[in-house]
């Protein structure tokens, strides 16, 4: 017996009885109603999957208008419910009109049981497929929203980042392609997501793809999809990222790493706005907003013949340069405080604090890894901190001597070395071998220093 809630609406008791007796053998819930005025009350108590609806209820009425009117009310009140019209032979034209207004199918009275069962079963499958699609769409929106919450904060007050954000917000309302240029770790994906959220496509998907991580042999399958049997491992059809991103934004990260031989295929898809799955000749239209990013000098690569000039001009209708962290000195303490809050919560150390003077010292570091390096550095400091206050030594930065000087610490190199060794030993619970590895020393060399400093 199939799981499904069926409602039969007809003023003929014989019709109700015969349909109910038959359908009860196939479906777990079958109800009947002879008075259509009771439908609103029934809808309040039960979410019906399928309704079998007669087209005439009043004596002498044969024009089917009552059924069409009821259909319109059902579609408005319970849009996910599937309606099958029951009609006499002479009302076929009206039944067709009913389908145009939202009915799923119609059956002729008197019906054949096989036809009735087939129609109700198909309607039930359609209802379940609609529910699945709706559930997946809601899931997608929720996951997209949750993911955006992770990425949504762009922290900064420096002129350089404020200017970039202003440009992003202006460009977002257009559908122009955008190229984000900047070093690794500067937050290019963060800005790409901001652009998507500010665009007219914000309620659609944001799909990212790392061009540098894609193997040449998998590029077409990953980006355009493939059909079953198109190559050895193609056991099922696969939808590519461009097709998934249809209607939304696709973010092509590290586009400068895309092999030259594949650049023409990407260009073709962007120019024609159609793709072909691997193994198929069917053209699939795509409607996407393109955002690309790279840390490589594309113009120089074009001059050297390593990047297609036509692709370069296709992807950079607007070119946005993302500043490195060393050009955003005023933002470093703000970012560090943000990451401190994040990781103190993550590692259950809510009382950890750091002095503003210590945060200011972080501006003396060059941050070659940019925001990503700062984030990792703060996380590591939170993990290593044994007290409620993080000190500059907890950050374990390479230019420690400079920061010690800035903080008024002892300039004696021996004292600085002794402090670093003590920190490494403390981190590794006194394990000399692990401390030596952290310090980049041989174990014997560390023992000599321990003896030297009386540790």
CATH assignment at residue 22 = 3.40.50.2300
- 411/378 same-domain check: yes
Dump pLDDT digits (tens) for 436-445: 888 877 777 7
Last residue of a domain, one of 76, 101, 131: 131
SS3 at position 367: coil
- 289/383 same-domain check: no
Give the mean pLDDT of 253-271. 95
Query: Does residue 452 register a pLDDT over 90?
Result: no
CATH assignment at residue 405 = 1.10.8.60
Q: Could you tell me where the DSSP H helices lie in 175-297?
A: 188-198, 219-224, 241-244, 260-272
How far apart CA 124 and CA 106 sit, in angstroms, is 14
With cut-offs at 50, 70 and 90, classify the pLDDT of residue 408. very low
Give the mean pLDDT of 331-335. 94
Q: What is the pLDDT of residue 146?
A: 58
- 343/394 same-domain check: yes
Which tokens in the block code for residue 388? 């409620």
Query: Does residue 266 register a pLDDT over 90?
Result: yes
Dump pLDDT digits (tens) for 15-39: 999 999 999 999 999 999 999 999 9
Query: Does residue 450 register a pLDDT over 60?
Result: yes
How far apart CA 83 and CA 7 sit, in angstroms, is 10
- 207/273 same-domain check: yes
Q: Are 79 and 34 in contact (CB under 8 A)?
A: no
With cut-offs at 50, 70 and 90, classify the pLDDT of residue 400. very low
Dump pLDDT digits (tens) for 57-103: 877 776 778 888 999 999 888 888 999 998 876 667 777 888 889 99
Please tell me what DSSP assigns to residue 188.
H
Give the mean pLDDT of 303-324. 96
Give the mean pLDDT of 329-353. 92
Give the mean pLDDT of 38-44. 87
Query: Does residue 414 register a pLDDT over 70?
Result: no
With cut-offs at 50, 70 and 90, classify the pLDDT of residue 7. very high
Query: Does residue 401 register a pLDDT over 50?
Result: no
Q: What is the pLDDT of residue 433?
A: 82
- 164/274 same-domain check: yes
The reply to whether 145 falls in a domain is no
How far apart CA 192 and CA 180 sit, in angstroms, is 8
Last residue of a domain, one of 323, 339, 374: 323
How far apart CA 68 and CA 99 sit, in angstroms, is 10
- 351/421 same-domain check: yes
Residue 246 Rama label (left phi>0; alpha psi -120 to 50; beta): beta
Give the mean pLDDT of 339-350. 91
- 12/97 same-domain check: yes
- 179/260 same-domain check: yes
- 311/343 same-domain check: no
How far apart CA 15 and CA 407 sit, in angstroms, is 91
CATH assignment at residue 223 = 3.40.50.300
With cut-offs at 50, 70 and 90, classify the pLDDT of residue 138. low
Q: What is the pLDDT of residue 445?
A: 78
Q: Are 244 and 207 in contact (CB under 8 A)?
A: yes
The reply to whether 248 falls in a domain is yes
Query: In terms of DSSP bridges, do strands 274-276 and 283-285 run parallel, antiparallel, or are they unpaired?
Result: antiparallel
Which tokens in the block code for residue 149? 């919450």
- 15/92 same-domain check: yes
Q: Helices 188-198 and 113-151: crossing angle, nearest 10°?
A: 130
Between residues 400 and 162, the one the model is more confident about: 162
Q: Are 126 and 58 in contact (CB under 8 A)?
A: no
Task: Write the DSSP assignment of 303-337 as a string of letters.
Answer: HTTSS-HHHHHHH-SEEEEPPPGGG-GGGHHHHHH
Between residues 50 and 358, the one the model is more confident about: 50
With cut-offs at 50, 70 and 90, classify the pLDDT of residue 402. very low
* Longest alpha-carbon distance in the chain: 112
Q: What is the pLDDT of residue 406?
A: 46
Total number of domains in the chain: 3
Domain that holds residue 256: 152-323
The reply to whether 103 falls in a domain is yes
Query: Does residue 409 register a pLDDT over 60?
Result: no
- 210/342 same-domain check: no
With cut-offs at 50, 70 and 90, classify the pLDDT of residue 9. very high
Average pLDDT, the chain: 87
- 363/440 same-domain check: yes
Dump pLDDT digits (tens) for 148-201: 655 557 899 999 999 999 999 999 999 999 999 999 999 999 999 999 999 999
For the beta carbon of residue 269, count every other beta carbon within 10 angstroms: 20
The reply to whether 263 falls in a domain is yes
Task: Write the DSSP assignment of 136-170 as a string of letters.
Answer: HHHHHHHHHHHHHHHH------SHHHHHHHHHHHH
């Amino acid at each position: 017996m199939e799981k499904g809630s069926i409602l039969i609406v007809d003023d003929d008791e014989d019709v109700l009885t015969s349909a109910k007796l038959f359908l009860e053998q196939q479906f777990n819930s079958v109800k009947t109603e002879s008075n259509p005025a009771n439908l609103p009350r029934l809808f309040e108590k039960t979410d019906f999957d399928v309704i079998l609806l007669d087209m005439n209820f009043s004596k002498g009425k044969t024009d089917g208008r009552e059924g069409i009117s009821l259909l319109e009310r059902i579609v408005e009140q319970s849009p996910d419910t599937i309606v099958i019209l029951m009609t006499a032979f002479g009302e076929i034209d009206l039944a067709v009109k009913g389908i145009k207004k939202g009915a799923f199918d119609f059956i002729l009275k008197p019906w054949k049981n096989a036809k009735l069962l087939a129609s109700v079963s198909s309607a039930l499958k359609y209802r379940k497929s609609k529910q699945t699609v709706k559930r997946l769409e809601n899931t997608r929106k929720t996951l997209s929203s949750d993911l955006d919450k992770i990425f949504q904060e762009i922290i900064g007050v420096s002129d350089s980042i404020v200017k970039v954000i202003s440009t992003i917000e202006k460009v977002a309302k257009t559908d122009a392609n955008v190229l984000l240029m900047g070093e690794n770790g500067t937050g290019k994906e963060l800005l790409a997501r901001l652009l998507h959220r500010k665009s007219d496509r914000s309620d659609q998907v944001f799909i990212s793809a790392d061009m540098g991580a894609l193997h040449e042999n998998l590029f077409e399958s990953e980006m355009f999809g493939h059909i079953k049997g198109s190559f050895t491992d193609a056991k099922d059809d696969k939808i590519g990222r461009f097709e998934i991103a249809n209607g939304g934004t696709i973010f092509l990260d590290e586009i400068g790493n895309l092999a030259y031989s594949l650049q023409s295929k990407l260009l073709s898809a962007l120019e024609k706005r159609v793709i072909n799955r691997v193994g198929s000749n069917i053209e699939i239209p795509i409607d996407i907003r393109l955002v690309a990013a790279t840390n490589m000098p594309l113009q120089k690569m074009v001059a050297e013949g390593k990047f297609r000039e036509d692709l370069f001009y296709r992807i950079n209708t607007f070119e946005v340069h993302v500043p490195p962290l060393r050009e955003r000195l005023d933002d470093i303490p703000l970012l560090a405080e943000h990451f401190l809050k994040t990781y103190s919560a993550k590692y259950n150390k809510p009382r950890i604090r750091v002095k503003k003077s210590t945060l200011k010292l972080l501006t003396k570091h060059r941050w070659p890894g940019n925001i990503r390096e700062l984030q990792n550095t703060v996380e590591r400091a939170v993990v290593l901190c044994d007290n409620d206050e993080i000190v500059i030594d907890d950050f374990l930065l390479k230019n420690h001597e400079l920061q010690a000087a800035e903080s008024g610490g002892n300039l004696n190199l021996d004292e600085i070395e002794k402090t670093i060794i003590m920190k490494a030993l403390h981190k590794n619970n006194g394990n000399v071998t692990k401390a030596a590895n952290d310090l980049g020393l041989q174990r014997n060399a560390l023992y000599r220093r321990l003896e030297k400093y009386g540790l």
